[in-house]
């Protein structure tokens, strides 16, 4: 059993801390937000992630997982300090490191014994060195420490599975002994471990996310061409995916990527390139294509309903979260689509199995309904934005019967075009 402190009770920190405790370690998760810590102590999680609540409760009951807002309490006896705070997008696309700086300074202020500081947050290349400089300069008296980069590769909606069954563990440090100590923490996962220097480890994270985002934008570009030429992008993607050099993953055409990782990481990597006088044309185009997909859906709605003026039109939206199995609304395509349709005068209504509660803070005037059928009743068009399983199994005949105008815009290519059209819908999809 190792003693671990995790700074940050957000998505990455909470999942990381909980899973390490489930591996038998003693973990203290620290967050400067008193209300968040109070909620966690009462069993109220700040995020929705399938299976997480059960694992948190199990390890709290076993006294392996605790929550605090006190640095002295969290650092007491800690051998490892994982920094897992947010790195939001800055004004020019750069990563905002204010929370990383604050965490590093607070660790330096309160550490009273040697520790291994592990950067878990997604941070620009060179941040590991920067954190080391901050801690060294901030210490009241010299205490030994090492910095290790251990980037996270968790997918929202399957984060616990991803943590416990990783494709690889990436570790970077100038101190090989410290890197091997962190490697030992991960040995129970029986995953390949890549040990490299700090900057290379940080770059692996950005390069990985940028590549996956590129695959998504590539297939969306192909979808737009397929639509113009009369081909079916789903069949194209299937045919491509059999080639092992290409692979099937991330070749689903639709509304593009969203969430807290891909959008900001692609922009941050492009920003880093520009600061070094490099020209990230591909990365910039990936972002532009992703943005275009949202406008393309708005255009499809306007085309099918007869023009840009949507006054008097009722449009329903199925799904608000940026992907299924999460309540994360950050950079969710649905939010921008709703805002654009509202600018054209449409009356909007929507539903989502778990994200509806959070959307009220972003779109306070949005008419939220209990389910997909209530959203469709009396609507002139419905737009599928998030491919929740429950939307895949809808009684579309019932949906059609309740709509005022049977227009269905399938932003995720979920439905069979022939069947939907047989039911009497005007059906538009992405690249089909």
Which two structure tokens, joined as six digits, stand for 227?
């639509």
Angle at 341 between CA 340 and CA 343, to 5 degrees: 65
Tell me how far apart the alpha carbons of residues 352 and 318 are, in angstroms, rounded to a whole number.
7
Say how many C-beta atoms besides its own lie within 10 A of residue 344's C-beta: 17
Q: Could you list the active site residues?
A: 261
Crossing angle of helices 333-343/281-305, nearest 10°? 50
**182 φ/ψ angles, rounded to the nearest 5 degrees:** -70, -35
Provide the terminal-to-terminal Cα distance of the chain, rounded to the nearest Å: 54
Given CA atoms 349, 353, 357, 359 in this order, what sign does their dihedral have?
A: negative
Q: Single out the residue of 148, 79, 69 nearest to residue 111, CA to CA.
A: 79
Say how many C-beta atoms besides its own lie within 10 A of residue 364's C-beta: 7
CA-to-CA dists, residue 379 to 187, 223, 312, 403, angstroms: 54, 27, 10, 5
List helix spans (H) across 71-197: 71-75, 98-110, 127-138, 159-164, 176-186
Which two structure tokens, joined as six digits, stand for 87?
């790195």
On whether the CB atoms of residues 124 and 272 are closer than 8 A, the answer is: yes
Tell me how far apart the alpha carbons of residues 272 and 279 are, in angstroms, rounded to a whole number.
10
| 3-state secondary structure labels for all residues of 157-174 | CCHHHHHHCCCCEEEECC
């Amino acid at each position: 059993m190792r003693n671990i402190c995790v700074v940050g009770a957000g998505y990455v920190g909470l999942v990381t801390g909980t899973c390490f405790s489930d591996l038998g370690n003693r973990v203290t998760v620290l967050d400067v937000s008193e209300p968040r810590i109070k909620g966690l102590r009462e069993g109220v999680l700040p995020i929705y992630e399938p299976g997480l609540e059960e694992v948190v409760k199990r390890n709290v009951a076993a006294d392996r997982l605790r929550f605090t807002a006190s640095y002295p309490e969290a650092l007491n006896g800690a051998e490892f300090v994982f920094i897992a705070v947010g790195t939001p997008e800055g004004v020019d696309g750069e990563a905002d490191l204010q929370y990383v700086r604050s965490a590093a300074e607070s660790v330096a202020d309160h550490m009273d014994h040697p520790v291994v500081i592990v950067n878990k947050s997604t941070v620009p290349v060179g941040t590991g060195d920067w954190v080391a400089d901050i801690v060294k300069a901030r210490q009241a008296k010299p205490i030994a420490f090492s910095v290790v980069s251990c980037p996270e590769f968790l997918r929202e909606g399957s984060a616990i599975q991803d943590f416990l069954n990783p494709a690889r563990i990436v570790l970077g440090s100038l101190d090989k002994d410290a890197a091997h100590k962190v490697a030992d923490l991960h040995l129970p996962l029986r995953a390949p471990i890549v040990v490299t220097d700090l900057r290379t480890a940080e770059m692996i994270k950005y390069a990985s996310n940028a590549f996956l985002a590129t695959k998504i934008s590539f297939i969306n570009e192909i979808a737009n061409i397929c639509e113009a030429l009369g081909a079916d992008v789903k069949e194209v993607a299937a045919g491509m995916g059999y080639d092992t050099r290409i692979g099937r993953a991330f070749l689903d055409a639709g509304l593009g990527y969203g969430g807290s990782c891909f959008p900001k990481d692609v922009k941050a990597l492009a920003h880093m390139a520009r600061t070094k006088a490099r020209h990230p044309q591909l990365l910039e185009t990936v972002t532009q294509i992703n943005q275009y997909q949202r406008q393309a859906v708005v255009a499809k709605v306007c085309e099918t309903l007869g023009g840009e003026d949507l006054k008097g039109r009722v449009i329903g939206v199925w799904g608000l979260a940026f992907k299924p199995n999460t309540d994360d609304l950050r950079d969710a395509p649905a939010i921008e689509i709703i805002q654009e349709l509202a600018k054209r005068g449409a009356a909007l209504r929507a539903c989502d199995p778990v994200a509806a509660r959070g959307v009220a803070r972003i779109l306070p005037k949005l008419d939220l309904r209990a389910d997909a059928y209530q959203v469709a009743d009396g609507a002139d068009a419905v737009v599928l934005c998030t491919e929740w399983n429950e939307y895949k199994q809808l009684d579309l005949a019932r949906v059609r019967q309740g709509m005022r105008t049977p227009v269905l815009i399938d932003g995720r290519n979920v439905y069979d075009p022939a069947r939907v059209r047989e039911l009497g819908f005007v059906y538009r999809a992405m690249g089909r």
